[in-house]
Amino acid sequence: MNGGRVTFTTTRQDGRNARLCVQPDIREAAQQLASRAAANTPRATGRMAASWRTAPGYSDPATTVVTNDAPYARFVEYGTRRRRAHAPLGRAVAAGSGT
Amino acid sequence: MTAPVVVQPDIEAHVWAQVKHLPGVTAFTFAATQQDRAGWIMAHFVQIDARAKRRAPARATAEQARQIMTGLGDVPWAEGVVCYVQPTEGPFWLPDEDGQPRYTARYEVRVHPPRQPGAITPAPVAASPEGT
């Protein structure tokens, strides 16, 4: 502080500091989302329910992606002409948006 | 203590009434969550699939459905009020397991019941400090 003037100095000019600060919370939220999606997943063999993963997203430290590599996961999530959608991830996201 | 029951409008029926004229379209709600403690506003999560024999018509239908959905708040609706619409996924290419062309999109639609006349009680006018 100098004569009533405050000077802030950031060590990075690209705005990544703020993104790095929220990274742990974002990662935790993504893990909770994956857990809820796993709980919502219907079980026949249990393969899809056990296949939910989180991973750092792209080059942004404040992004975490939730994935499922079961080959039929998309059909369970979104349904098909003959099978209804179970939407395990969609329902997990919805549950996170309510009161 | 008792709380009034808020009768929510049927948004699934309202969405279907708007998109049913589009060939190959299906629409359904896969989740709903309460947005406030009173239960006045509900968020409904709606999936719309657009199917056709070829990819281009399926995409065109999905785009028509997207325009209808994003304009849902402007459609007169006696049963309720659409106060928020946001596409959350797509429309994206997702063929059925037998390879039939399909575009899929998901939307978050928030609604509340219509306000009835007299339902909102105005707050009493505060007494003037000068009069006391």
**Interface ipTM:** 0.83
Between the two ends of chain B, the Cα-to-Cα distance in Å is 35
CB A53 within 8 A of CB A66: yes
Please indicate whether, in this complex, the C-beta atoms of B36 and A99 are within 8 angstroms of each other: yes
What does each of the 132 residues of chain B score in pLDDT, given as a tens digit? 666 778 899 999 999 999 999 999 999 999 999 999 888 999 999 999 999 999 999 999 999 999 999 999 999 999 999 999 999 999 999 999 999 999 999 999 999 999 876 555 566 677 777 655
Give me the helices (H) in chain A, please.
Answer: 16-40, 73-78, 88-97
> Rounded distance, CA B32 to CA B55, Å?
31
Q: Which CATH number fits domain B17-114: 2.60.40.10, 3.10.20.30, 3.30.2000.30, 1.20.1250.20?
A: 3.30.2000.30
Cis peptide bond prior to B91, omega within 30° of 0: yes
Dihedral pair phi/psi, residue B110, rounded to 5°: -105, 135
Buried/exposed code over B74-84 (b: 16+ C-beta within 10 A; e: otherwise): eeebeebebee
Quote the pLDDT of residue B131.
54
pLDDT at A10: 67
Q: Which of B47, B51, B98 sits opposite A85 (nearest CB)?
A: B47
A71 touching chain B per CB within 8 A: no
- Going by DSSP bridges, is the β-strand pair B102-112/B42-51 parallel, antiparallel, or unpaired? antiparallel
- Condensed to tens digits (0 to 9), the pLDDT of residues A22-55 reads 899 999 999 999 999 999 999 999 999 999 999 9
Measured between alpha carbons, how far is A31 from A19 in angstroms, rounded to an integer?
Answer: 18
Cα of B126 to nearest chain A Cα, Å: 33
A74 and chain B: CB distance < 8 Å anywhere? yes
Asked if B30 is an interface residue toward chain A (Cβ–Cβ < 8 A), one would say yes
Split at pLDDT 50, 70, 90, the class of A7 is confident
Residue of B nearest to A88 (CA): B30
Phi, psi of A50 (to 5 degrees): -90, 0
CB-CB: which of A90, A91, A99 is closest to B34?
Answer: A99
